[in-house]
Structure 1
Amino acid sequence: MSSRYPEPINPTRTSIGWIGIGVMGHAMAGRLIAAGYTLSIYARTPSKVAALLSLGATLAASPADLAASSDVVFTMIGHPSDVQQIILNTLLPSLTPNTVVIDHTSSHPDLAKRIYNSALEKHCYSVDAPVSGGDVGARDGKLAIFAGGDYDVVRWLTPLFDELGQANYVGGAGKGQSCKIANQIVVGGNLVGLSEGLVFAEKAGLDKERFVEAARGGAAGSMAMELFGKRMIERDFRPGGFAEYMVKDLGMGVDVADEGEAVVVLPGAALSKQLFAGMVANGDGKFGTQGVITVIERINGMGG
């Protein structure tokens, strides 16, 4: 880092900007405010940030205004097209030298590399840092953070990441996004397997709660079961992450290969993507990913 940052990040010295106040972003921004940081927030729908403003955040008039006044800018938005529009086209032209952009959006590795190179041209830094852990992890500060970019920059950001969860440095620009895609391949498979296990248990006449309690201590136990087993049983499909985003994430693994790299054959991920896409086709794309059980139920004539 440059001499502009002679001391560690400190709530009284570091200006934070935040864009993206969905389920995850709202909880994550709230944790930084609770830690003493003052956040400038931009939201297309200002009413969504009322609770954060009451805690001391300020509302920026535009992404450009936010960028110009921040030392560190966080983004947690929707799709790669949003990332390109907000970061590449709007934020980067307005950054002052040595500003750091942290993109928590699950996006494409190649886009993360483009942002990294464009930031360097502005004498700034970028870190692609998608997360895993859902709304519970965001609320409790226990997210897994997959950080790609310059190691020294990621290390400098540690005080901020520590408020959100555990940062894992996984390599250069774009590697954070590649790590998240690999993570989603595993998560998608776990959720499909859990859904099928619960549907089978019900068809076999088992009490589903007893099944989960019995299985959680064995090889079938997983974080997916801990986070989503009870929600599936109770038909709680409130989103920590939207099902339509899982389709996006799995698609980046199944459908896209980086230029110059071999295409990876992922039959399980392809099936998972198809099942989550079935949720979207059924009008349930805004359900949480645990709602994939409804697709398995429909296949088995259980109504969904």
Structure 2
Amino acid sequence: MAPQIGWYGLGSMGRLMAENLQKHLAKKEDEKAMIYYNRTIASGDTLKSLGATPAESFEDLVAKSDVVFTMVSNDSVLEDLIQSAIKSAGSLDGKIFVDCSTVHPDTAEKLSTELSSHNATFLAAPVFGGPAIAATGKIVVAIGGEPAACEKVTPYILDVFGRKVIPCGDKARNSSLLKIGGNIVTLNLMEAVGEAQIFAEKTGLGTGPMQDLITDAIGPVAGGYSQRLTTGIYAPSLDTRPGFGVSLSIKDADHALSIAAEQGMKLPGLEVSNGKMKAAREYGGECLDASSMYGVLRQEAGLPFWNEKSRQGGK
């Protein structure tokens, strides 16, 4: 029989991933409709319209599900959820927990050990890509943990909400390591793209030609980051949720820097990017995208933090 799929976490990424998964389930006669829960249950209204069923609580979700996907903001939220499942959801025998969040490898290893002692399995399956890519079902997913469990859940990821699954072996911590390492590239790329666009603006070249160059010569990922800057997405209006919140990105960078320090190495580029994100948050508050380091770069170049298309329209 097909497993019962449950989903918790319907933020800017989780909701889109869950919707793609429910659409996949709805097409298969032998699959069951998804069960979901979220702290703000109204965030699942679209899922419900697609045929998914809301649970009464996270514990209810776990009790009714064979495979539980989670997509949450940080390590402590995930740890609280797993502890709640252990204490209140009844038997966890045979259940598979698939976490798509970005958490510290030590957290992944700890939760894997704890769930194993209750005859359940923890898989770390962090994702690469923002909401625009998630909407198309084309994110990349790294997966690590017990091989048989990975094999069981991969058909619910590959060509469903992810275009590629990267196996990371039988340790959940390894996929968390890959995600954190990948974020070093992402954040340094945002910094580089921001510097190039400010160079173009200050010299009078203009951001349009630079946008074309970055997209066509360097690649669509870099072009997407560039567009987040020039279209003002780095600092959206206060009633709009950022694509990837600045505090979440700072958390990810802090994880990478702490791991690097443990290995006796430095990440100088990431230190610069992280410092600018923290300065951006201090200046503009929480409702900023990870790419808001661009606003600080603008200030350092004698320009306003806000460009014409951002929250305050260049003021």
- Scaled by the length of structure 1, the TM-score of the pair is 0.90
* 1:82-231 aligned within 5 A: 82-87=77-82, 89-93=83-87, 94=89, 95-162=91-158, 163-165=160-162, 166-171=164-169, 172-218=171-217, 221-231=218-228
Separation of aligned partners in 2, 1:277 and 1:36:
41
Query: Which residue of the other structure, out of 13, 22, 25, is the alignment partner of 1:36?
Result: 25
Give the CA deviation at 1:257.
Answer: 5.7
SS at match of 1:302: coil
Give the CA deviation at 1:224.
Answer: 3.6
**Cα deviation digits, residues 6-42 of structure 1 (max 9, x gap):** x7xxxxx221111110010000000011112511111
Separation of aligned partners in 2, 1:15 and 1:135:
26
**Alpha carbons 2:214, 2:226 under 8 Å: kept:** no
Q: Give unmatched runs, 5+ long, in structure 1.
A: 1-6, 8-12
Separation of aligned partners in 2, 1:113 and 1:223:
34
Query: Which residue of the other structure, out of 39, 51, 56, is the alignment partner of 1:56?
Result: 51
> Which one-letter code corresponds to 1:123 in the other structure?
N
**Cα deviation digits, residues 187-217 of structure 1 (max 9, x gap):** 0000000001000110010121111213433
> Which one-letter code corresponds to 1:40 in the other structure?
I
Residue 235 (structure 2) pairs with residue 235 (structure 1): no
**Cα deviation digits, residues 267-291 of structure 1 (max 9, x gap):** 1111111111112112343322232
Separation of aligned partners in 1, 2:216 and 2:134:
25
**Cα deviation digits, residues 205-257 of structure 1 (max 9, x gap):** 01211112134333xx1444232222311212352211111100010011246
Identity %: 27
Query: Which residue of the other structure, out of 56, 61, 64, is the alignment partner of 1:66?
Result: 61
**Alpha carbons 1:130, 1:147 under 8 Å: kept:** yes
Residue 267 (structure 2) pairs with residue 266 (structure 1): yes
**Alpha carbons 2:260, 2:267 under 8 Å: kept:** no
Cα RMSD of the aligned pairs, angstroms, is 1.7
**Alpha carbons 1:187, 1:224 under 8 Å: kept:** no
Separation of aligned partners in 2, 1:176 and 1:215:
29
> Which one-letter code corresponds to 1:262 in the other structure?
Q
**Alpha carbons 1:243, 1:284 under 8 Å: kept:** no
Separation of aligned partners in 1, 2:202 and 2:122:
50
Separation of aligned partners in 2, 1:173 and 1:190:
27
Would you say how many aligned residue pairs link Structure 1 and Structure 2? 288
**Alpha carbons 1:244, 1:286 under 8 Å: kept:** no
SS at match of 1:167: strand
Separation of aligned partners in 2, 1:263 and 1:222:
33
SS at match of 2:150: helix
Change (3 A) 1:178 1:223: farther
Q: Structure 1 stretches (4+) deviating beyond 6 angstroms? A: none
**Cα deviation digits, residues 129-165 of structure 1 (max 9, x gap):** 1111110221111111111112232122121111111
Change (3 A) 1:100 1:271: same
Separation of aligned partners in 1, 2:290 and 2:221:
10
Residue 248 (structure 2) pairs with residue 249 (structure 1): no
- Scaled by the length of structure 2, the TM-score of the pair is 0.87
Separation of aligned partners in 2, 1:215 and 1:45:
39
